[in-house]
């Protein structure tokens, strides 16, 4: 049997070792897979609402119900004069329930002795109002309100002169509102000058006495009003 020589064995070992250390070939690169870009939907078009002409249109002016030139001289020395286009009267005596322009409500109640008549403003040529002093103030309270409502009233003496020359006392107890063509508005009383205020707190059970502090405050404020912006003379001339 032939035995391999040491030199041949060494060469064989070297050949095997070199083969083991030889690098394996690198794997081929992975194919590039392109990811499609996300689809972005276009925003829905904004549809603007058509302009609301009703909202833009200014409110219709209240209808005119008189055509006269009126001058109001106030106790503080100021005067309002202009083309009167609208007359209104308070729904109630305290002017707390709104205004009315019904023809039936727009007459001025006049008194001559035991006789009363209803006159249109266009039948009047002037009204003069004299205000009482502090001795002519009467105060009361109404317990039907909660808390109670206090009211002080200063007596007045209003005299009207009609276009036919007759003079009569005015006893119209409602409040009046005049609107001029200029947009000026004047509100006033004729027969009386009232001042009302409700108590802040409900009185204790069984307490029926008047709130003298509130009453005195109303009296003093009312006396101050009589020399302020309250009408002393109203003249009316109907426009032809």
**Per-domain boundaries in the chain:** 88-238
Average pLDDT over residues 138-146: 91
Residue 160: count other Cβ atoms within 10 Å of its Cβ.
Answer: 25
pTM score of the predicted model: 0.73
> Would you state the pLDDT for residue 33?
55
CA atoms within 13 A on the CB side of 61: 10
Nearest to 127 by CA among 85, 181, 93, 178: 178
The rounded percent of the chain whose pLDDT value lies above 70 is: 73
- pLDDT recorded at residue 20: 46
- Residue 179 bridge partners (DSSP): 86, 185
- Peptide bond before 141: cis, by omega within 30 degrees of 0? no
Whether 9 shows a pLDDT value over 50: the answer reads: no
Name which of 41-55, 106-120, 200-214, 223-237 the model is least confident about: 41-55
Of 56-60, 84-88, 180-184, 225-229, the one with minimum mean pLDDT is 56-60
**pLDDT tens digits, 68-96:** 999 999 999 999 999 999 999 999 999 99
pLDDT of residue 16: 47
Q: Please state the rounded mean pLDDT for residues 186-212.
A: 83
């Amino acid at each position: 049997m032939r035995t391999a020589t040491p030199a041949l064995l060494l060469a064989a070992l070297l050949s095997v070792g070199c083969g083991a250390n030889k690098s394996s070939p690198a794997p081929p690169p992975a194919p590039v897979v392109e990811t499609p870009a996300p689809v972005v939907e276009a925003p829905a078009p904004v549809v603007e609402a058509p302009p609301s002409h009703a909202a833009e249109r200014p409110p219709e002016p209240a209808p005119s119900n008189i055509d006269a030139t009126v001058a109001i001289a106030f106790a503080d020395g100021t005067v309002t004069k202009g083309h009167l286009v609208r007359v209104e009267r308070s729904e109630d005596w305290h002017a707390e329930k709104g205004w009315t322009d019904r023809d039936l409500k727009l007459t001025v109640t006049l008194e001559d002795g035991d006789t009363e008549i209803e006159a249109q403003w266009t039948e009047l040529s002037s009204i003069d109002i004299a205000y009482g002093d502090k001795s002519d103030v009467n105060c009361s309270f109404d317990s039907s309100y909660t808390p109670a409502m206090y009211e002080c009233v200063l007596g007045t003496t209003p005299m009207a002169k009609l276009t036919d020359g007759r003079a009569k006392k005015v006893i119209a107890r409602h409040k009046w509102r005049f609107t001029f063509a200029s947009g000026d508005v004047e509100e006033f009383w004729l027969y009386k000058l009232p001042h009302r205020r409700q108590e802040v707190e409900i009185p204790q059970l069984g307490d029926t006495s008047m709130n003298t502090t509130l009453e005195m405050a109303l009296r003093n404020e009312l006396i101050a009003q009589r020399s302020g912006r309250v009408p002393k003379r109203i003249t009316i001339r109907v426009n032809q």
